[in-house]
Amino acid sequence: MKTTTREFEHLPFNAFWEKGYKDGNVSTMGGPNHDIVELAAALPPGTRVLDLGCGEGRNAFFLAGRGCQVTAVDRSAAGIEKLSALAKRTGVPLRAVVADIAELELRDTWDVIMAHGVIDYLDNRTWRSLLARLKAHTAPGGYNAYTCMLFTDEYPAGPEFLAAGFKHSLAQGELAAFYGDWEQVRHDRYVKWDQHPGIPLHCHPVDKLVARKPGGGGPAPRREPVPVGEVDLPRALFDSVAMGTPAEEVLARCGEPAVVDTFTMEGVQLGVGPTDSLTVDGYRLSLWYYGRAVLYVINGRVWGRALHDSLPVRMTFG
């Protein structure tokens, strides 16, 4: 992979994540995405992973800690410096590079390429050209995983997204159509509320796609609907659950969820929420499903909530 070393001063460094990246004590985006934790079960040590727009590296750090060979790229020097320092301090080997992914020249082949909350900051032509190259540089049987924001009239982009250079460059279904020739391992649509250092609670409609290139070996992905039941948490009650609410208080106010799915990550991890320190020792994420309303309970507190449009699914491999 050839990277560019030019300066990026013209790019929007008033982006809401920069403040957190520059603070070595806070976790800006929380721990790894649960779809990446799920996918990790299918990745043997040595899996070649490229994380584009990695930020401070919650997913890159997690996979590198599990033996993957990770290269993480972001145009934010602050994000890359923070990730490099964390990797060095914890002895987790990974490669972290400052570069503009729009200009990325790919030479190697990768087993997993991911971009979470990133390609929406490229214009339509640029992300299409990049993704065509990513598809070509993915090994047979390899994965591409994306989280994109599809703001709507009902859930418009907040000023922090616009200030960060959000482009509105993806239409509903466009990413899935782009991967029409690959197996769509999972494709989730939901609206998620969360919080970041210095940014109050905000919301984003999410389009999350994990696609697998035809061919190759490795364990086959299996998709299973989560039996979330018919009854959603009443909207006013859902809206009233504040970030940081302890699990016991949620139980007292909302009752038992229909289903709880738990992901446990051992060892040093990026921290859990906006008031949390940079790292935690061990990380436990539970998704509490009240119908299609989901509370993200992390290490005993609510640090996110979502309303699903697509039917929630679980992935297993083997």
Ligand X SMILES: C[S@@+](CC[C@H](N)C(=O)[O-])C[C@H]1O[C@@H](n2cnc3c(N)ncnc32)[C@H](O)[C@@H]1O
- Using CB under 6 A as the binding rule, whether residue 32 contacts ligand X is answered as no
Chain position whose Cβ is nearest to ligand X: 55
Report the nearest approach of ligand X to the CB of residue 111 (Å): 18
Binding to ligand X, residues 123-162 (CB under 6 A):
none
- Selected binder of ligand X within 26, 29, 72, 185 (CB under 6 A): 29
Cβ nearer to ligand X, comparing 59 with 286: 59
**Taking Cα atoms as reference points, which of 157, 150, 152, 204 lies closest to residue 176?**
150
Binding to ligand X, residues 226-265 (CB under 6 A):
none
C-alpha 317/C-alpha 50 separation (Å) is 21
Cβ nearer to ligand X, comparing 15 with 287: 15
Dihedral, CA atoms, 19, 308, 149, 35, nearest 10 degrees?
Answer: 70
Pattern of binders to ligand X over 60-99, x per CB under 6 A? --------------xxx--x--------------------
**Taking Cα atoms as reference points, which of 188, 173, 204, 214 lies closest to residue 34?**
188
C-alpha 114/C-alpha 194 separation (Å) is 21
- Selected binder of ligand X within 101, 170, 185, 278 (CB under 6 A): 101
Report the nearest approach of ligand X to the CB of residue 12 (Å): 9
- Using CB under 6 A as the binding rule, whether residue 116 contacts ligand X is answered as yes
C-alpha 163/C-alpha 157 separation (Å) is 10
Report the nearest approach of ligand X to the CB of residue 181 (Å): 25
**Taking Cα atoms as reference points, which of 185, 296, 159 lies closest to residue 238?**
296
Q: Quick one: tokens of 13? A: 């460094």
- Using CB under 6 A as the binding rule, whether residue 192 contacts ligand X is answered as no
Q: Quick one: tokens of 294? A: 């989901």
Residue pair 273/298 in contact (Cβ under 8 Å)? The answer is: yes
- Selected binder of ligand X within 54, 72, 94, 112 (CB under 6 A): 54
Q: β-strand 301-308 against 279-290: which pairing, if any?
A: unpaired
Q: Which stretch binds ligand X (CB under 6 A): 117-125, 184-192, 210-218, 290-298?
A: 117-125
Report the nearest approach of ligand X to the CB of residue 100 (Å): 4
Q: Which stretch binds ligand X (CB under 6 A): 86-94, 118-126, 238-246, 255-263?
A: 118-126
Q: β-strand 110-116 against 48-52: which pairing, if any?
A: parallel
- 298 contact partners, CB below 8 Å, separation of at least 6: 30, 31, 272, 273, 283, 284, 285, 286, 304
Residue 275: CB atoms within 10 Å: 14
Cβ nearer to ligand X, comparing 121 with 178: 121
Coil, strand or helix: which one is 8?
coil
- Using CB under 6 A as the binding rule, whether residue 100 contacts ligand X is answered as yes
- Using CB under 6 A as the binding rule, whether residue 290 contacts ligand X is answered as no
Q: Which residues of this chain interact with ligand X, rule CB under 6 A? A: 17, 29, 53-55, 58, 74-76, 79, 100-102, 116-118, 121-122
